[in-house]
């Protein structure tokens, strides 16, 4: 049975990864999960300098979901390299590093420094965090800016580039195509969906940031539809994510056209989820007599 | 840190809205240090996703007990679970209290409501007896009084309505004791934030060490989601640190309360 898939020049032993921001830098989960069983480890978004993050409350639980406005707290690229690269480089599976910036120059500088490390599996370009006023989302909601940032990163690194798209657009197709045309090797679909909650006792928004990004099982049908649409419009592979908590969820994404998937919010409540998804996928393929997971990719698309 | 399925041995009302659940958790129980917590997935809670953190009240031969108050849908559903049903636990988690040394400072524990749950194990494992100050709104908020007395600790109870112990708030009783004698004592506290701030002020005024256990909303419990952060002083200023990992127990001098506003 073959579970391996390719994302640009990168081979994953299986198509199950984790979503940036839900898995820290990998090391936090290492006592609970055998990271080397995963398709890849994807770390939290980093920019050039350390980021303090937003005031609290930063998250609120909603029906079958979670709204977060963390504000991409992190140690900056040098802090990340110093604290976490010694651990990440010893993994047997690829480490994919999610990066962001306020300017195109910041994206390229972070990309350059990570490229220089040697051994990074791929870079995921975060152009879609809803909680950062400047940068992040502005690149993800303007196809022209999106092209610029992808093309600029393409010039400074040969590492596979994965562009993580925002769901907060009228149609995802022009963004998927812009990223592909600018040299992105793959797409991650989707980031969180802008949302909010109100505390009726205080009559105020729950989150200090007022709004945040919705994740968890409640967004899965939205993410699935975006993967479906993008898969028809581009040739590059798609990593599907949004509310995956079971193998069935993951298989839906693959059938919609995703080459790989990422488990996100489920890591917070059930750290074994990625391994359960891998086991369940294997089981499904066995039952259905499918020898290669690549035969499932896009198999729900009409005409396939 | 271990993840394990834990069967409920008993789950009974303590007083009023407070419950005690005892679970069999043979892997986690022997590892627990005072002030640490377990992160509990209440499996029947299908549409509320996150685990709930609970301080470990007691540990005994492969079981551990948790003290909780019904504050929301998670604890409400938990209160209706029966012996034999299962929970998923991750633990022990967090940085707990420093257990007093023999001959060291005399521990004064300060608890508000279910904050008591974080302090009992500290008293049990402390080679030195001390005084525990327990406060609440009314009699039903006073927990574990008998257990502390059984350990040979002096217990000083305050209630806001005067229905049990002295009428007043717990930090007033603490202040009265510190006025009698402060040197050579160390404060350990868990409870609502205003109480913790007051304990920190008293520690500063009397030049005493104090360890405070912060109660913050928590997400993953293992340091990745960055929900439970608190402002903590650093050499160059302050930063948000994780209550689940660097905490929940912090030296009171580290906490930059003014930045949390």
- A56-112 residue pLDDT tens: 999 999 999 999 999 999 999 999 999 999 999 999 999 999 999 999 999 999 999
pLDDT in tens, B207-227: 999 999 999 999 999 999 999
For helices A104-117 and A143-156, what crossing angle results, to 10°? 30
Q: Which residues contact A49 (CB under 8 A, 6 or more apart)?
A: A76
In angstroms, the Cα distances linking B6 to A53, A84, B86 are: 35, 33, 5
Q: What pLDDT is recorded for position A130?
A: 65
Helix (H/G/I), strand (E/B), else coil: B60: strand
**pLDDT value at residue A271:** 98
- Beta carbons of B226 and A31 less than 8 Å apart: no
Q: Which residues of chain A have a CB within 8 Å of the CB of B219?
A: 59, 66, 268
C-alpha B237/C-alpha B244 separation (Å) is 21
- Chain A residues within 8 A (CB-CB) of chain B? 22-24, 28-29, 31-32, 44, 52-53, 55-59, 61, 63-66, 68, 70, 73, 216-217, 265-272
pLDDT band at B202 (very low <50, low <70, confident <90, very high): very high
DSSP string, B113-181: GGGHHHHHHHHHH-SS--EEEEEESSGGG--SHHHHHHTT-EEEEEETTSSSSEES-HHHHHHHHHHH-
Q: d(Cα B14, Cα B68) in Å, to the nearest integer? A: 9
Tokens 């007022």 sit on residue: A210
Confidence of residue B112 (pLDDT cuts 50, 70, 90): very high
pLDDT digits (tens, 9 = 90+) for B227-257: 999 999 999 899 999 999 999 999 999 999 9
Question: Cα–Cα distance between B6 and B63 in angstroms, integer?
Answer: 9
**Known catalytic residue: A80?**
no
Q: What is the rounded CA–CA span in Å between residue B164 and residue B167?
A: 8
DSSP code of residue B258:
G
A61 vs B48: CB contact, 8 Å cut-off? yes
Residue A234 DSSP SS3:
coil
- What DSSP assignment string belongs to A31-62? TTS-GGGSS-EEEEEE-SS-B--PPSP-EEEE
CA distance B126 to chain A (A): 29
- How many interface pairs between A and B have CB atoms less than 8 angstroms apart? 83
Q: Quote the minimal CA–CA distance from B231 to chain A in Å.
A: 9
What confidence category does residue B2 fall into, taking pLDDT thresholds of 50, 70 and 90? very high
Residues 6+ apart with CB under 8 A from B181: none
Dist. CA A17–CA A275, nearest whole Å: 10
Pair of tokens at residue A184: 């992105």
Residue A94: closest CA among A35, A44, A45, A47: A35
Top-confidence residue, A137 or A198: A198
Whether the CB-CB separation of B239 and B229 falls below 8 Å is answered with no
The rounded distance, in Å, linking the Cα atoms of B29 and A277 is 29
Instruction: Using alpha carbons, list the distances in angstroms from residue A42 to A165, B1, B172.
Output: 16, 22, 51
Which DSSP helix (H) or strand (E) runs through A74? none
State the pLDDT at residue A304. 60
Q: List, for residues A181-237, the tens digit of each pLDDT value.
A: 999 999 999 999 999 999 999 999 999 999 999 999 999 999 999 999 999 999 999
According to the model, what pLDDT value does residue A133 have?
Answer: 59
Q: What is the pLDDT of residue A131?
A: 62
**Mean pLDDT across chain B:** 95
Mutation target to probe the B interface, by most B beta carbons within 10 A, among A61, A66, A208, A265 is A61
Chain A residues with beta carbon closer than 8 angstroms to that of B230: 56
In angstroms, what is the C-alpha Rg of chain B?
A: 18
Residue with tokens 């004592």: B185
Closest partner CB to B224 (pick from A23, A64, A216): A23
Tell me: pLDDT of A135 over 90.
no
DSSP string, B8-56: EEEEEE-STTEEEEEEE-TTTGGG--TT-EEEEE-TT--S--S-EEEEE
Smallest Cα–Cα separation from A259: which of A243, A280, A237? A237
Which tokens hold the place of A43?
Answer: 């770390």
Q: How confident is the model at residue B198 (pLDDT cuts 50, 70, 90)?
A: very high
Q: Does the pLDDT at position B195 exceed 70?
A: yes
Cβ–Cβ under 8 Å, residues A59 and B220:
no
Please judge whether B50 and A66 are an interchain contact, meaning their C-beta atoms are less than 8 angstroms apart.
yes
The pLDDT of residue A138: 76
> CB-CB: which of B88, B224, B240 is closest to A24?
B224
In this predicted structure, the answer to whether residue A30 has a pLDDT above a threshold of 70 is yes
Number of residues assigned to chain B: 261
Contacts of A24 in chain B (CB under 8 A): 223-224
Q: Say which residues have a Cβ less than 8 Å from residue A116's Cβ, sequence separation at least 6.
A: none
Which residues from B are below 8 Å from A208, CB to CB? Answer: none
Q: Which residues of B touch A270 (CB under 8 A)?
A: 41, 88
- B166: Cβ contacts below 8 Å, ≥ 6 apart: B156, B157, B158, B159, B173
**Cα nearest neighbour of B260 on chain A:** A55
- In this prediction, residue B127 carries a pLDDT of 94
In angstroms, what separates the C-alpha of A118 from chain B's closest C-alpha?
A: 25
- Picking from B41, B223, B230, the nearest residue to A24 by CB comes out as B223
Could you give phi then psi for residue A228, rounded to 5 degrees? -55, -50
For residue B70, name the pLDDT band (cuts at 50, 70, 90): very high
The answer to whether the CB of B88 falls within 8 A of the CB of B43 is yes
The mean pLDDT of B136-161, rounded to a whole number, is: 93
Average pLDDT score, chain A: 95
**Which residues fall within 8 angstroms of residue B40, CB to CB, at 6 or more apart?**
B51, B52, B53, B54, B66, B78, B87, B88, B89
CB contact under 8 A, B3 and A32: yes
As a whole-number percent, the residues of chain B with pLDDT over 90 amount to: 90
Q: Which of A80, A129, A153, A218 is catalytic?
A: A129
Q: Which of B48, B93, B220, B223 to mutate to test the interface with A (most CBs of A within 10 A)?
A: B220
Name chain A contacts of B47, Cβ cutoff 8 Å.
Answer: 63-64
Backbone angles phi, psi at A194, to 5 degrees: -55, 135
Give the residue on B whose Cα is nearest the Cα of A25: B224
Distance separating alpha carbons of residues A144 and A96, to the nearest angstrom: 25
CB contact under 8 A, B226 and A22: no
Q: Determine contact, residues A291/A285, Cβ cutoff 8 Å.
A: yes
Q: What is the pLDDT of residue B114?
A: 84
Nearest CA in chain A to B47: A64
Share of chain B above pLDDT 70, in %: 100
Write the DSSP assignment of A83-114 as a string of letters. Answer: HHHHHHTT-SSPEEEEE--SSHHHHHHHHHHH
Q: Measured between alpha carbons, how far is residue B93 from residues B1, B28, B97 in Å?
A: 6, 10, 12
d(C-alpha B211, C-alpha B2), whole Å: 26
Q: How many CB atoms lie within 10 A of CB A201?
A: 6
Best of B215, B216, B217, B226 to disrupt the A interface (most A CBs within 10 Å) is: B226
């Amino acid at each position: 049975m073959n579970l391996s898939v390719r994302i640009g020049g990168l081979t994953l032993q299986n198509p199950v990864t984790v979503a940036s921001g839900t898995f820290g830098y990998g090391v936090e989960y290492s006592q609970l999960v055998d990271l080397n069983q995963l398709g890849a480890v994807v770390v939290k978004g980093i920019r050039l300098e350390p980021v303090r993050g937003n005031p609290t409350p930063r998250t609120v639980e909603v029906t079958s979901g979670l709204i977060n406005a963390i504000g991409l707290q992190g140690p900056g690229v040098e802090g990340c390299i110093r604290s976490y690269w010694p651990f990440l480089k010893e993994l047997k599976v690829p480490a994919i590093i999610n990066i962001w910036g306020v300017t195109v120059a910041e994206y390229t500088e972070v990309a350059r420094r990570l490229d220089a490390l040697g051994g990074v599996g791929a870079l995921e370009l975060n152009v879609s965090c809803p909680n950062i006023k400047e940068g992040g989302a502005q690149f993800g909601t303007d196809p022209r800016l999106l092209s610029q940032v992808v093309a600029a990163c393409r010039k400074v690194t040969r590492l596979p580039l994965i562009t993580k798209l925002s769901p907060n657009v009228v149609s995802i197709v022009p963004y998927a195509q812009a990223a592909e045309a600018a040299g992105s090797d793959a797409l991650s679909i989707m980031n969180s969906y802008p949302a909010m909650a109100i505390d009726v006792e205080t009559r105020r928004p729950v989150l200090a940031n007022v709004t945040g990004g919705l994740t968890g099982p409640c967004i899965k049908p939205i993410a699935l539809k975006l993967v479906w649409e993008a898969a028809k419009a581009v040739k590059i592979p798609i990593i599907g994510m949004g509310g995956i908590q079971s193998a069935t969820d993951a298989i839906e994404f693959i059938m919609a056209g995703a080459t790989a998937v990422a488990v996100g919010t489920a890591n917070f409540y059930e750290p074994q989820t990625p391994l359960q998804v891998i086991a369940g996928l294997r089981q499904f393929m066995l039952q259905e007599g499918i020898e290669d997971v690549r035969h499932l990719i896009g198999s729900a698309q009409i005409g396939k | 840190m271990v993840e394990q399925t834990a069967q409920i041995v008993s789950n009974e009302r303590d007083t009023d809205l407070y419950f005690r659940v005892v679970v069999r958790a043979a892997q986690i129980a022997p590892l627990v240090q005072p002030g640490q917590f377990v992160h509990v997935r209440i499996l029947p809670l299908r549409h509320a996703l996150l685990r709930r953190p609970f301080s470990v009240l007691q540990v005994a031969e492969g079981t551990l007990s948790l003290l909780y108050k019904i504050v929301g849908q998670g604890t409400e559903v938990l209160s209706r679970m029966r012996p034999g049903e299962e929970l998923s636990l991750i633990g022990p988690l967090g940085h707990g209290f420093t257990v007093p040394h023999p001959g060291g400072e005399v521990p004064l524990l300060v608890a508000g409501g279910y904050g008591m749950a974080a302090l009992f194990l500290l008293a049990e494992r402390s080679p030195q007896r001390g005084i525990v100050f327990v406060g609440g709104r009314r009699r039903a908020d006073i927990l574990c009084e008998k257990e502390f007395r059984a350990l040979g600790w002096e217990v000083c109870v305050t209630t806001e309505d005067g229905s049990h112990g002295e009428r007043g708030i717990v930090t007033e009783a603490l202040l009265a004791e510190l006025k009698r004698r402060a040197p050579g004592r160390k404060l350990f506290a868990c409870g609502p934030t205003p109480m913790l701030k007051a304990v920190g002020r008293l520690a500063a005024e009397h030049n005493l060490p104090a360890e405070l256990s912060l109660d913050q909303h928590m997400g993953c419990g293992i340091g990745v989601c960055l929900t439970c952060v608190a402002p903590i002083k650093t050499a160059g200023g302050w930063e948000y640190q994780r209550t689940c990992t660097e905490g929940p127990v912090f030296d009171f001098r580290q906490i930059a309360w003014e930045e949390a506003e």
